[in-house]
Amino acid sequence: MPELPEVETTRQGLLPVMVGQVIRQASVNRPDLRWPLPPDMATRLTGARVLALRRRSKYLLADLDTAETLLIHLGMSGRMLISGQALGVFHHDHPAPLKHDHVVLQMETGARITFNDARRFGAMDLMATAKVDQHPLLARLGPEPLGNAFDEAYLAARLHGRATPIKSALLDQHIVAGLGNIYVCETLFRTAIAPQTLARAITPDQVARLVPAIRAVLREAIESGGSSLRDFRQTDGALGYFQHRFQVYDREAEPCPVCQTPIARLVQSGRSTFHCPTCQR
């Protein structure tokens, strides 16, 4: 579910209850997420103070005063929920334990942070902070799409010669890190590029449209609080609103907002692509 904007809004929701605060008690209800959790994870988290909460691509990184960093990936259905009393604010999204509450961080402030993930495609791991960017899940990621390293020259070089459709190339986290199915579909619509176009056939003009369009769609989604599909909620239980602004994603057969042609769905590398066959060439 969560793509870069949803992870970023989750991070922003967690900031006030995590950063500077001590984990009084960490507990693990299910250690078998996408990979087994470190067997001593709860022990290594308990008593630690969170120094910073960062985001790299779709990963949350909580730096601890133990010189370790907690990596969190939400997979398809993962959520971080806050409940309890903290810093004068009562959070009530999630007062009672639910099915699929796999990891709970009870903070000294009284806040409770719960990782809930029905499908268990999510993941957590601990790694020395000094080496966290060498973690196998992070080491080979492409640049942040909102960062300076992502520009026209870079993207053109990475698309050069590739025989894969542009849709698949933009989903490849090694090319650019953080886009998922929704925001790739929206970006290709905004840039009027057909999703089947091979990466190697993308013109310089199209590259020049893609870079700012990717940035814009991500920024707008973050400002809207992300997208709430199938129950995705922010940490405080609030819904994101960007889904109302999807122009093509999940809108098969609805009229294109530009030309009224019915939005089409096709499957590329096993994933649905929504597009306007008239506008996108």
Using the rule CB under 7 A, which residue among 44, 55, 100, 219 binds DNA? 100
Give the contact letters, 68-97, x = binds to DNA (CB under 7 A), - = no: -----x-xxx--------------------
56, 58, 112, 190: which one is catalytic? 58
> Least CB distance from residue 163 to DNA, whole Å?
4
In this structure, are residues 195 and 166 in contact, taking their beta carbons and an 8 Å threshold?
yes
Q: How many CB atoms lie within 10 A of CB 245?
A: 13
- Whole-angstrom distance, CA of residue 61 vs CA of residue 10: 12
For position 235 contacting DNA by CB under 7 A, the verdict is: no
In this structure, are residues 67 and 128 in contact, taking their beta carbons and an 8 Å threshold?
yes
Buried b (16+ CB within 10 A) or exposed e, 10-28: bbbbbebbbeebebeebeb
Using the rule CB under 7 A, which residue among 27, 173, 224, 278 binds DNA? 173
- Whole-angstrom distance, CA of residue 85 vs CA of residue 83: 7
Using the rule CB under 7 A, which residue among 10, 69, 83, 181 binds DNA? 181
> Least CB distance from residue 77 to DNA, whole Å?
7
The radius of gyration of the chain's CA atoms, rounded to the nearest angstrom, is 20
- DSSP SS3 for 228: coil
Using the rule CB under 7 A, which residue among 25, 93, 121, 156 binds DNA? 121
- Whole-angstrom distance, CA of residue 201 vs CA of residue 266: 20
For position 57 contacting DNA by CB under 7 A, the verdict is: yes
In this structure, are residues 52 and 58 in contact, taking their beta carbons and an 8 Å threshold?
no
For position 158 contacting DNA by CB under 7 A, the verdict is: no
**Sign of the C-alpha dihedral computed for residues 163, 167, 170 and 174 taken in this order:** negative
For position 58 contacting DNA by CB under 7 A, the verdict is: yes
For position 232 contacting DNA by CB under 7 A, the verdict is: yes
| Residue 3 annotated in active site | yes
> Least CB distance from residue 73 to DNA, whole Å?
6
For position 187 contacting DNA by CB under 7 A, the verdict is: no
Interface residue list for DNA (CB under 7 A): 1-3, 6, 34, 57-58, 73, 75-77, 99-100, 118-121, 137, 162-165, 168, 171, 173, 180-182, 199, 226-232, 240, 269-272
Active-site annotation, residues: 2-3, 58, 271
